[in-house]
Amino acid sequence: MSKKSLVEREKKRKFLVKKYFLLRNFLKHELIYSQTFEEKLENSFKLQKLPKNSSPVRLNNRCMITGRPRGFYRFFGLSRHVLREMAYTADLPGVTKSSW
C-alpha cells in the first residue's frame, strides 16, 4: 500500500490538470499560431507561469484503493491485485472468470 501522501499528491495533480485544461490548451494554440517572435515569446512565458502539476504529463496512474502505480488497469482504475480480488468476490458487475 502506498503512502497516503503519494495518493493525495496524485489527487491534487488530477484536480490541477482539470482546472487548467482549457487555459493550457488555449495558450498552446496561441503559441503555435502566433505570427511574430514577440507573440511566441509572450505566449510561452504565459504557459510557463502555469503550475508544473497542471501538466497532464506529470500524472501517474495509481490504483484507487491501494495507490499502487504498477499493474494498473485503466478501464477499472484498479491494480491487478485488487481487480482480481474484486472479480472473485463479484464486486465488479459483468466481470467473470473466463473458461472454455
**Residues in contact with 58: Cβ distance below 8 Å, sequence separation at least 6, in sequence order:** 13, 52
Determine the pLDDT at residue 83.
Answer: 93
Q: In whole angstroms, what is the distance from residue 90 CA to residue 60 CA?
A: 28
Mean pLDDT of 3-23: 92
pLDDT, tens digit, for every residue of 56-91?
999 899 998 898 999 999 999 999 999 999 999 988
Q: What backbone phi and psi angles, to 5 degrees, belong to 30?
A: -65, -40
Question: Can you spell out the DSSP letters for 10-33?
Answer: HHHHHHHHHHHHHHHHHHHHHHHH
**Residues in contact with 80: Cβ distance below 8 Å, sequence separation at least 6, in sequence order:** 71, 72, 73
Contact assessment for residue 17 and residue 59, using Cβ atoms and an 8 Å cutoff: yes
CATH 4.10.830.10 fits 62-100, yes or no: yes
Determine the pLDDT at residue 94.
Answer: 87
pTM: 0.78
